[in-house]
Structure 1
């Protein structure tokens, strides 16, 4: 049991109530400094050093050369018959400038990802490297892109892919903090939409 909770002054005051000791302050100070209980309670919290940003986050690059990708939602909209339906936003954010581009998708399928990706590339031809979490639609889209590169087939999407080389990297599974630079932009987008739309249901 440790009675040093008051520090040197309080401990010294308690000690002098019983006896007078020469150089008592130094003795009390040394005792508190080597007390295991005091060391434990007075220890400073651990502080991990913040690692440096990766090179692709700080280099001067064309817009969206390195792009973070993530889904936001669901968002609810009103169909032509007045019924409520579910949709999603596929968010693209530049790793350097933090600019964002939004594409509305009706679901989380691989086809929706490839369609949105084609629209995005058409608008920003400098986009080449994509980074995302390990979502099934993203994994499948990467596999489809690599398959098309290896075995070029006919079709509009494959023709578009032959004109540009895309790479897709995935963060460590079950570690969403690694993708913080796009998760932050997802939060900003959802907050702005909720303030602008409120509880209104608009059409797609």
Structure 2
């Protein structure tokens, strides 16, 4: 395997994926977070906003000048074609910025945090290892409701639109079942994988 080691990290909403990402970064990995890139593209002054406003109308942009996420969430839930239009704008821009950040990593291991990794066949070819963070669906719903204040129905709709747990596990080189684990126990599992994949031997 050539270095830098490239790890594709994915998991359903509320799985604890972001916590695992932070634990990998603490070990020296460079994090390329596609959700963070998407948020930057749709924040005030974001590069994707003109195309989104042209495609979906001025109501897609909130009073603060950023993407009106609540409005767009309702739109794409109601109409899969609108979701595809939004993805057609965002995905190429996210992809370009993802590769730019990866090129800046040097020889350090790279963790690509990709919520839609399972749904995107090309990602499996871009990484050496796929790490899936998994938990029960009821746990996902409870965690997201607790942190976001969303209604249970809203969270369940988000979960339903994501890949199934079985589909994610099917593409994984390793699965961390993040159910009932303390932070320390989760960190121990991350450390074992970090060593098993040889990431601890890469010069930082």
TM-score normalized by the length of structure 2: 0.28
TM-score normalized by the length of structure 1: 0.28
Question: Which structure dedicates a bigger proportion of its chain to helix?
Answer: 2
Question: Which structure dedicates a bigger proportion of its chain to strand?
Answer: 1
Greater RCO, CA 8 A, separation 6+: 2
